[in-house]
Amino acid sequence: MTDRDAIALREEEREAVAELLEAAHHLAGLGLSPGSSGNVSVRTGDHVLVSATGTQMGSLAPEGLSRLDLHGNLVDGPRPTKEAPLHLAFYRRSPELRCVIHLHSPAAVAASCLPPYSERSALPPITPYFVMRVGQTPLLPYAVPGSVEHGDSIEGLTFAFRAALLQNHGAVCAGTTVAAAREAAIELEAAAEVLLKLPTAGYHTLSEEQAHAVAAAHGSHWDR
């Protein structure tokens, strides 16, 4: 990457980018983005600023961002992460979303290798915090990392959700703010870790009625 590759941030993008970089550094500091894995993005108007290929979340800087349009065309900046289709699919299906975070966090990766709890959520309603901060989290079929198939799967689902597990791969979380997406990513990892510590049967979850009530009270989604 050269200085000529770096995008020139517009005034209206600066605050959002500062929040995005802080979130990336925080998540990496928690150990949720091992090596050069993971990528983040923020939507500003009709453009998406997404981490570039080869960047590391722990040291992500403005020059490590690419500017795309909503169809994936590079407007300016370096070559984007190959996982850009994941991000763009969320923005296209839900225009209110402003941030997408994709991680290979260990517990979420492990949970993505298990059979899903239901058609609409890989994880059960294991805690009220998972339901309120993440909500139903479908398990997307395995696809080669970076392929458009993941994006197609996200756009093809007809029910509401703001997070998904990618089979044998990791997690992707979206939010109406950078903070919401970051907290969802952290909570999803925590819920997956709790689930992995439980026996395969005989544990309690929230009832469907309880999960519905929590989701409705906090603007989340739960509908098994």
Q: What was the pLDDT predicted at 58?
A: 96
Neighbours of 67 (CB within 10 A): 21
The per-residue pLDDT for range 181-209, each reduced to its tens digit, is 999 999 999 999 999 999 988 899 999 99
Does residue 1 surpass a pLDDT of 70?
Answer: no
Q: Are 91 and 97 in contact (CB under 8 A)?
A: yes
212 Cβ contact list (under 8 Å, min separation 6): 222, 223
Beta-bridge mates of residue 99: 42, 175
SS3 content of the chain, % helix, strand, coil (to 5): 40, 15, 45
Q: What was the pLDDT predicted at 77?
A: 95
Q: Which residues of 11-26 are buried (b: 16+ CB within 10 A; e: fewer)?
A: eebeebbebbbebbbb
pTM of the model: 0.95
Q: What was the pLDDT predicted at 87?
A: 98
| Sequence ranges of the domains in the chain | 11-218
Does residue 4 surpass a pLDDT of 50?
Answer: no
Token pair of 21 as six digits? 């970089």
Q: What is the dihedral of CA 119, 123, 97, 94, to 10 degrees?
A: 0
Q: Which residues are catalytic?
A: 83, 129
The per-residue pLDDT for range 44-99, each reduced to its tens digit, is 999 999 999 999 999 999 999 999 999 999 999 999 999 999 999 999 999 999 99
User: Which pairs from 6-14 meet CB under 8 Å and 24+ separation?
Assistant: 6/62, 6/63, 6/77, 6/78, 7/49, 7/62, 7/63, 7/65, 7/66, 7/67, 7/76, 7/77, 8/76, 9/62, 10/44, 12/44, 12/45, 13/44, 13/49
1 Cβ contact list (under 8 Å, min separation 6): 52, 54, 63, 64, 78
Q: What was the pLDDT predicted at 224?
A: 66
Token pair of 121 as six digits? 């959520």
Fold observed for domain 11-218: L-fuculose-1-phosphate Aldolase (3.40.225)
